Amino acid sequence: MTTDKGDWKARAAAYKQSILDAIPPEWRVDESVLAGLKPGSEVRFVAQQTILTKDEIHLLARDATTLAADIAAGRFTAVATATAYAKSAAVAHQVTNCLMDFFPDEALARAKELDEYYAKNGKTVGPLHGVPVSVKDMVAVKGRRMTAGFLAIAEGPYGVSADDATLVAALRAAGAVFYCKTTNPQAIMHLETDSFLGPTTNPLNTALTCGGSSGGEAALMAAGAAVLGIGTDIGGSIRNPCANCGLYGFKPTAARLPRGGMMGGMPHQESIVGATGPQTVSARDMRLFIETVLASEPWRIDPGCVGMPWKQTQGWRYGGAKPRVGVMWDDGLVSLQPPMKRALREAVDKLKAAGFDLVDVAPYKSKEAWDLINTLYFTDGGKRVRDLCAETGEPILPLTQWVMQGAREIDATELRELVKTRDGFRAAYNQYWNEQKIDVLLCAPGYGTAQPLGTTKYWNYTSFFNLVDYPAGVFPASVVKPEEDRKEEKKAFITDMDRYCSEIYDPKVFWNAPVGLQVVGQRWDDEATLEALTLISKVVTA
């Protein structure tokens, strides 16, 4: 438990050191190598350049679907796989600060059990036999640490989880091997990842954020040290970091996947419900993740999970062989930075050339949506955050202060009226969507790519779809091209936030940043949304 508030820095430093202490000496990166990595460096190949063998590099160069098939065919053992990913994760943490718990010995012991089972029975225990899975901090793994971004929680009764989260249990039963947990931000409410553990950086450009709040997952994966990750999303927390790091990520309709055993920024509040979902290196891996979880029928355990098995897509409501795609060019409040604008334009051109039917769709009441969801996030006025920080003396970070500005405690009567307003907004947006006669919407997942550390302050491109509870996913579409993506000389701005987001852009600073795009479908149409994302991403990335 916490003691003297004045020593919070020392206790935070000790916690950070314990993560490093879990890394075997032979997996440490030489100090001279680390010293040569300046801000703005690309660090995703450091493991390959230092401690990985050629065989391990070969093993890591595949998605989860292929890896699972290779293990099932006996081409790789679970132990060899766990070793390669644990070594890579150790290096990824040293160059990006992406881990908050690391347990390679536990992973290798489980991998050994799986190999023995395979040798004895000639088959796998399930579809993820031997596949390493990384887990976001706030998701419980039995016997492992949890902080939810606060030192007080790390030191309190929830600092070590008594049981697996429902989703973790489902993946474990399918053969998954857990080897690390990854960082999330203070309050789990930033589109960056910073807490008492310090900031997590983007392995493609360490001057930029990895995104958040599932940012540690994205940084780990972009560094080549994860192949299948568990994220959560209440305002963009899967989609933003995956877009920032050149990955695939999917936020399902909130109740499609189980949420039991997770500690969010505002536990048990129902005004805006977060979703759990996959963070992956391929589109098909998202389906593998979801199908595996739902095959366990988690709704029989988790009362918050709806009883809907994953089903095959039965054609398109408006499209023919391909979905009819709406295109939203911006949200009407904040315009897109040049790389995002270019990537969306190029994607539309490619889809038209491939025979997709596309139609422009105007943004719907973005200001009303942004104001409403921000009111519904912190219905206690930020009291829980302030209390947790006060318990240890840990400071409230600037981005936490920003997201809570204007937050106020809301009584039951007002909350009931706000939920009524939320439901009315959802109904009106359903009608608006239906009037567009589209199967899915293609849009940006944010006003830009990964931003400089400490500067990301606008979420409406993703949080809008949390408000209406629509499934949405992201895929990598391009990368910043400084010569093409020059800064625009704008004289007029839509809003003050538009000015802020426009003026912060500098193509030299944003070098090598991935550009992701977002595909959105209607509530409960998760299967069709993921299928459309898969089809669209194949065309755009070809």
For 5-45, give the DSSP string. Answer: GGGHHHHHHHHHHHHHHTS-GGGPPPHHHHHT--TT---TT
**DSSP H or E stretch at residue 527:** helix 526-541
* Residue 316 included in any domain: no
Q: In which residue are the tokens 């030192």 written?
A: 151
* Residue 236 annotated as lining a ligand binding site: yes
Structure tokens at 189: 């409410």
Residue 136 known to be catalytic: yes
Same domain, 340 and 280: no
CATH number at residue 492: 3.90.1300.10
Across the chain, what does the average pLDDT equal? 97
Q: Using CA atoms, how far apart are residues 400 and 378, in angstroms rounded to an integer? A: 11
Same domain, 277 and 412: no
Q: Return the amino acid letter for 48.
A: Q
* Residue 95 included in any domain: yes
State the pLDDT at residue 267. Answer: 82
* Residue 366 annotated as lining a ligand binding site: no
Structure tokens at 23: 């890394």
Same domain, 12 and 149: yes
* Residue 315 included in any domain: no
Same domain, 71 and 159: yes
Handedness of CA 334, 335, 338, 343 (dihedral sign): positive
* Residue 504 annotated as lining a ligand binding site: no
Q: How many of the other CB atoms lie within 10 Å of CB of 1?
A: 8
Annotated catalytic residue: which of 136, 251, 341, 457?
Answer: 136
State the pLDDT at residue 269. Answer: 86
Contact 99, 220 (CB under 8 A): yes
Q: Using CA atoms, how far apart are residues 428 and 362, in angstroms rounded to an integer? A: 14
Same domain, 364 and 239: no
Q: Using CA atoms, how far apart are residues 340 and 447, in angstroms rounded to an integer? A: 7
Concatenated DSSP letters of 230-276: EEEESSSTTHHHHHHTT-EEEE--TTSS--TTB--SSTT--SS--EE
Annotated catalytic residue: which of 134, 195, 213, 214?
Answer: 213
* Residue 195 included in any domain: yes
Same domain, 112 and 215: yes
* Residue 419 included in any domain: yes
> End of a domain among 283, 300, 317?
300
3-state class (DSSP) for residue 520: strand
Contact 136, 216 (CB under 8 A): yes
Q: Return the amino acid letter for 480.
A: V
Q: Using CA atoms, how far apart are residues 225 and 88, in angstroms rounded to an integer? A: 5
Q: Return the amino acid letter for 150.
A: F
Helix 215-222 vs helix 78-96: crossing angle, to nearest 10: 110
What region does 171 belong to: left with phi over 0, alpha with psi -120 to 50, or beta?
alpha
* Residue 23 included in any domain: yes
Strand 514-520 and strand 440-443: the pairing is: antiparallel
Same domain, 330 and 296: no
* Residue 272 annotated as lining a ligand binding site: no
* Residue 306 included in any domain: no
* Residue 418 included in any domain: yes
Same domain, 281 and 342: no
Contact 88, 281 (CB under 8 A): no
Residue 335 known to be catalytic: no
End-to-end Cα distance, the chain: 53
Number of structural domains the chain divides into: 2
3-state class (DSSP) for residue 514: strand
Walk along the chain (542 residues) and give the pLDDT tens digit of each residue.
445 566 999 999 999 999 999 999 999 999 999 999 999 999 999 999 999 999 999 999 999 999 999 999 999 999 999 999 999 999 999 999 999 999 999 999 999 999 999 999 999 999 999 999 999 999 999 999 999 999 999 999 999 999 999 999 999 999 999 999 999 999 999 999 999 999 999 999 999 999 999 999 999 999 999 999 999 999 999 999 999 999 999 999 999 999 999 998 888 889 999 999 999 999 999 999 999 999 999 999 999 999 999 999 889 999 999 999 999 999 999 999 999 999 999 999 999 999 999 999 999 999 999 999 999 999 999 999 999 999 999 999 999 999 999 899 999 999 999 999 999 999 999 999 999 999 999 999 999 999 999 999 999 999 999 999 999 999 999 999 999 999 999 989 999 999 999 999 999 999 999 999 999 999 999 999 999 999 999 999 99
* Residue 213 annotated as lining a ligand binding site: yes
Same domain, 72 and 193: yes
Q: Using CA atoms, how far apart are residues 237 and 533, in angstroms rounded to an integer? A: 18
Same domain, 333 and 258: no
3-state class (DSSP) for residue 107: helix
State the pLDDT at residue 2. Answer: 46
Same domain, 333 and 400: yes
Q: Return the amino acid letter for 319.
A: G
* Residue 188 annotated as lining a ligand binding site: yes
What range does the domain containing 100 cover?
A: 7-264+272-300
3-state class (DSSP) for residue 405: coil
- Phi and psi at 111, nearest 5°, equal -60, -40
Same domain, 291 and 332: no
Annotated catalytic residue: which of 134, 161, 195, 237?
Answer: 237
